[in-house]
Amino acid sequence: MRPGRTASIALLVLFVTLGVVRPARADLTAFVGNNASPSNRQVRGVAVGFSLLVVGFEFELSDTRADAAADAPGLKTGMANLLVQTPFGIAGLQFYATAGAGLYQEEGGGIGDTNGGTNVGGGVKISVGGPIRMRVDYRVFSLRGSPQHDTHHRLYAGLNIGF
């Protein structure tokens, strides 16, 4: 193949690709919910994400309060997640599945542990109007190391703003 023809084909592929791919979008979520393991405790946090059409990335921080009466430690997590989502909202709903990994810090009852962990889950973003959406999410966290409780279940709702 001639060098001029190769360059022309490469430019054509580049222009077609740029014309098809949507620009990346970003969003910010503030959430509050329930960590149900080993007792019902409040969790709150923030997440920032960006996505292309189907694949997205998200970074989140969360803080679960301790419950001394139930011997449930406080739990702080910082996770990086990969999201796979429906490309467009269906009737104002955008469904997604997520998996990620990061760090956690568990403290309570005189015991503390900091180590790595993973999470899997899914949810839905519900269009409210303009860039504002509600978000409902369920996650299962698996903690490594020596935590008091190695599995945590979290359900939350949040306000999501796209930009």
Helix/strand/coil (H, E, C) string of the chain?
CCHHHHHHHHHHHHHHHHHHCCCCEEEEEEEEEEECCCCCEEEEEEEEEEECCCEEEEEEEEEECCEHHHCECEEEEEEEEEEEECCCCECCEEEEEEEEEEEEEEEECCEEEEEEEEEEEEEEEEEEECCEEEEEEEEEEEECCCCCCCEEEEEEEEEEEEC
Share of the chain above pLDDT 90, in %: 67
Question: Is the confidence at residue 21, as pLDDT, over 50?
Answer: no
Q: What is the CATH number of domain 23-162?
A: 2.40.160.20
The pTM of the full predicted model, rounded to 2 decimals, is 0.82
Q: What pLDDT was estimated at residue 13?
A: 66
Domain layout of the chain by residue ranges: 23-162
